[in-house]
Amino acid sequence: MMSEERLRTVLARVQPAPRLVDWSLFVLVFLEVASGLLSFTVGRPPGWPVFEFHRIAGVAIVALLAFKLYRVRHRVLDRDRWVPSTVLSALTAAAAVGALLTGFLWVAGLDVRIAYWTLLSVHVGFGLALVPLLIAHLSTRFRPPRRVDLEGRRTAIRFTGLVVGGAVLVRLQDLANAVLETGGRDRRFTGSQPREGAGNAAFPVTSWVADDPDPIDRDSWALSVDGMVASPIELEFSAIEPDAEREALLDCTSGWYTVQRWGGIRVGDLLDRVDADADATHVRFVSVTGYRWTLPIDEARDALLATRVGGERLSHGHGAPLRLVAPGRRGFQWVKWVDRVEVRDRPDPAQWLVTLISGFE
Ligand SMILES: Nc1nc2c(c(=O)[nH]1)N[C@H]1C(S)=C(S)[C@@H](COP(=O)(O)O)O[C@H]1N2
Ligand SMILES: [Mo]
């Protein structure tokens, strides 16, 4: 074991000034939350740097948090020094450690569920909990950043070391996954784990937040196609003839993906049928629950409204009678239980909120 004195000498060399550690942690947590949320919108491989950044910043946080926890250990371990805000500090630390640990284990390939949630969803939960905790923690212990803490050649070297060290450790973890053949090597660039097989039973039924409608009676259901179109229509289920089939990858932000053959109708054919206006720029897909998502019209034309998956009729949980298949988009954008397609001339920013609250009374 290293003597405490020795450890202190080493730390003095490698760790930034205390206040700088604290402010760097704050900035990095902010960037982690931002890149984590942003990553939810990334479904195509060119977006990989978002995930890479998230991992490297996570490693940098581990180092800074270790410096910080070592520095404040007496304030926590020594009961006489407890003050009311110590509880808040401890909770903040617990959320941070929880987020780091679940993130690390997920990348290492631990693909388990905790109650209803995947490990990745628990990671997201810790990360989101950290936001109010960190803001409250900061307001009880606010010390403005100081210029002197930033000065000196050492500081620049230390921070370069953090970033380079983080990048190296991320690569080493990937290498370890490959060499040790952990489940971590099967992940997609988004971090999602594969679900193999074909058809309804091959992949989980997932809600983005709370959407959970009763099964839909095909005979009383109809699809309306309207908005900026010359001739709006209402299609009964029997009038929908699935004449298109395509393979597409569904990648859920809770951490799994599946490749399936989806059968249904091409949205482009539907738009031709109703004679969409030349000025239309977007297409909105609306669920019976109100949940909705809008795609740019060219992308929408190429999407599918599916009645079938893997050679089977779509099950209720997977969105029967009709669900959107939007290749390249993350799962939450693949609207289930669609009963309305609306041609529009603008995007729909409110969809972000609607998807979150849909299903709550
Ligand atoms: N109407 C509606 N559509 C939805 C959702 C939802 O909650 N409501 N969840 C989305 C999410 S988060 C995903 S990952 C996919 C999951 O599709 P699956 O349940 O068929 O696996 O559906 C999407 N479509
Ligand atoms: Mo999802």
Q: What is the CATH number of the domain that holds 60?
A: 1.20.950
Q: Where among 131, 163, 191 does a domain terminate?
A: 191
Please tell me if the CB atom of residue 262 comes closer than 6 angstroms to any atom of ligand 1: no
Same domain, 164 and 254: no
Same domain, 118 and 241: no
What's the average model confidence in pLDDT over 232-242? 97
Q: Where among 170, 191, 212 does a domain terminate?
A: 191
Whether the model pTM is above 0.85: yes
Label residue 280 by pLDDT band (50, 70, 90): very high
Both tokens assigned to 124: 């997201």
Among the listed ranges 11-15, 274-278, 344-348, which one has the minimum average pLDDT value? 11-15
Share of the chain above pLDDT 70, in %: 100
Which positions ≥6 away from 303 have C-beta within 8 Å?
266, 267, 295, 324, 325, 326, 327
What's the average model confidence in pLDDT over 96-111? 97
Same domain, 186 and 205: no
Please tell me if the CB atom of residue 340 comes closer than 6 angstroms to any atom of ligand 1: no
Q: Which residues surround ligand 2, an ion (CB under 5 A)?
A: 206, 252-253, 331-332
pLDDT score at 1: 67
CA angle in degrees (0–180, nearest 5) for 85-88-92:
140
Q: How many CB atoms lie under 10 A from the CB of residue 109?
A: 17
Structural domain including 55 reads 4-191
- What would the pLDDT profile of 47-81 be if each residue is shown by its tens digit? 999 999 999 999 999 999 999 999 999 998 999 99
From the CA of 339, how far away is ligand 1's center (Å)? 15
Please tell me if the CB atom of residue 67 comes closer than 6 angstroms to any atom of ligand 1: no
Enumerate helices (H) and strands (E) in the chain, giving the number of each: 10, 13
From the CA of 35, how far away is ligand 1's center (Å)? 22
From the CA of 211, how far away is ligand 2's center (Å)? 12
- What would the pLDDT profile of 145-194 be if each residue is shown by its tens digit? 888 888 878 889 999 999 999 999 999 999 999 999 999 999 999 999 99
Please tell me if the CB atom of residue 357 comes closer than 6 angstroms to any atom of ligand 1: no
Nearest to residue 193, comparing CAs of 261, 115, 112, 309?
112
Same domain, 38 and 167: yes
List the CATH number of the domain containing 230. Answer: 3.90.420.10
